[in-house]
Amino acid sequence: MQRWSRRKTHFPVLALFFSVFIVASILYNERNIRKIHDRKEEQQVPIRDSTLLTSVPSKVSSKHKPIVAAASLDRFTKCDSTRKFHGRRTETVYQKLDSSQRREKQHRCDLFSGKWVFDNTSYPLYDESRCPYMSDQLACHKHGRTDLGYQNWRWQPHDCNLKRWNATEMWEKLRGKRLMFVGDSLNRGQWISMVCLLQSVIPVDKRSMSPNAPLTIFRAEEYNATVEFYWAPLLVESNSDDPVNHRLNDRIMRPDSVFKHASEWEKADILIFNTYLWWRQGPIKLLWSDEESGICEELDGVGAMELAMEAWADWVASKVNPLKKKVFFVTMSPTHLWSREWAPGTEGNCYQENNPIDMEGYWGSGSDLPTMRMVDKVVDRLRSKVSVLNITQLSEYRKDGHPSIYRKFWESLSPQQLSNPASYADCIHWCLPGVPDVWNELLFNSL
């Protein structure tokens, strides 16, 4: 346990806002959050001197170590040159799916349309301090938050009731199975929530957590079941696949390959994917698998995300047997960076917000509509194999649910920042217990 709690501080932070004036274009520029991970990590894994990289001319290195098809990218991967995206598309199984043969929309209750109801008798579903796997990024009460109302909201769909959370019943659903969350730090938050929701009914000596980045596994012996997290923030292979060291200037991805990641996905019985915020930081470089001379192409975030989603969709279309594997896609997690969007005339963010937004249909500018339409299009074709956890609208209401300043900050804060707390508030991730617990209840209801 102790080992785990030390290790978990190695987890990097996807992003932080040290200034409300930071524009969206540098949203996930992790240069701004240098050294946020455990300093010990830096001693153990010395950041390679940049001269080490430049002392080997790239031509020589590519002669000795040619980039072969599907060779893995890592954080030292470089583009020899970059040109504009030429519009290349790969003919795939997914592309050939006949979108007219979709299943009819089921006339079931829409679990994602509803409202938040204050309910301090049933919520929170667990106690923050009793979950040994809690992350210091998400433990808001421990880090000084005193208004705890954010833990007490229940999601009430308009047309039906959610089945109440029952950890034993969930374990029964998971018996003999591997449940794997795949994605970025938002998805990791949902995974931690799931572990916290589930762990209390398993005796201490019958459970274990094995930090084995990029795959981390929680095991429950008596159910022969695991709840796992796999770090793949762009879904496809990229130079950001190291869960700790991914503070890079350029994002380079293979637009056509999930091969390395998918070798882990194949072992899971239930898969929960997400990806979104990492595409919001500006152009992405593409290095196609058959590109041997190190020439990259460059594409805007939404376009690059579409290519990645299609590569992922191709894996789903060709490899997933829906009778054996359940696949879910979690839609974008909203941010609350500009209070003027819900309170016109104000200049803050989520800092000091302690109630949900009660305007039905509220939608902030952080949840990009073209991205949502693109996701709609991709998952629609996969409808017989993928279920959507459409958490965007319901989470939009929860401006009160973010850690704000109540989390561990690995970098010491300057007096200037401390005098203006909103400037470093985290309005991206979610406190636990809190909103991601409800995402997991929706998953529980969909299994």
Residues annotated as part of the active site: 185, 426, 429
| Partner residues linked to 387 by β-bridges | 328
Nearer to ligand NAG, 37 or 178 (CB): 178
Q: Which of 97, 131, 107, 129 is nearest to 4 (CA)?
A: 131
Q: Which two tokens stand for residue 323?
A: 């009778």
| Partner residues linked to 183 by β-bridges | 231
Distance CA 33, CA 19 (A): 12
Q: Is 389 helix (H, G, I), strand (E, B) or coil?
A: strand
**Pairing between strand 295-299 and 284-286?**
antiparallel
Nearer to ligand NAG, 199 or 390 (CB): 390
Nearer to ligand NAG, 54 or 120 (CB): 120
Distance CA 300, CA 281 (A): 9
End-to-end CA distance of the chain: 30
Q: Which of 203, 113, 248, 191 is nearest to 443 (CA)?
A: 191
Nearer to ligand NAG, 185 or 331 (CB): 331
CB of 132 to ligand NAG, least distance (A): 23
Q: Which two tokens stand for residue 8?
A: 């978990």
Q: Which residues bind ligand NAG (CB under 6 A)?
A: 120, 166, 168-169, 172, 176-178, 224, 331, 372, 375-376, 379, 388, 390, 392-393
Distance CA 187, CA 230 (A): 9
Nearer to ligand NAG, 172 or 266 (CB): 172
| Partner residues linked to 253 by β-bridges | 238, 286
Chain mean position to CA 7: 19
CB of 441 to ligand NAG, least distance (A): 14
CB of 357 to ligand NAG, least distance (A): 14
Nearer to ligand NAG, 331 or 440 (CB): 331
CB of 174 to ligand NAG, least distance (A): 10
CB of 178 to ligand NAG, least distance (A): 5
Q: Distances in Å between the alpha carbon of 47 and those of 237, 243, 246?
A: 22, 15, 11
CB of 144 to ligand NAG, least distance (A): 20
Residue 30: how many other CB atoms lie within 10 Å: 19
Q: Is 369 exposed, middle or buried (0-12, 13-18, 19+ CB in 10 A)?
A: exposed
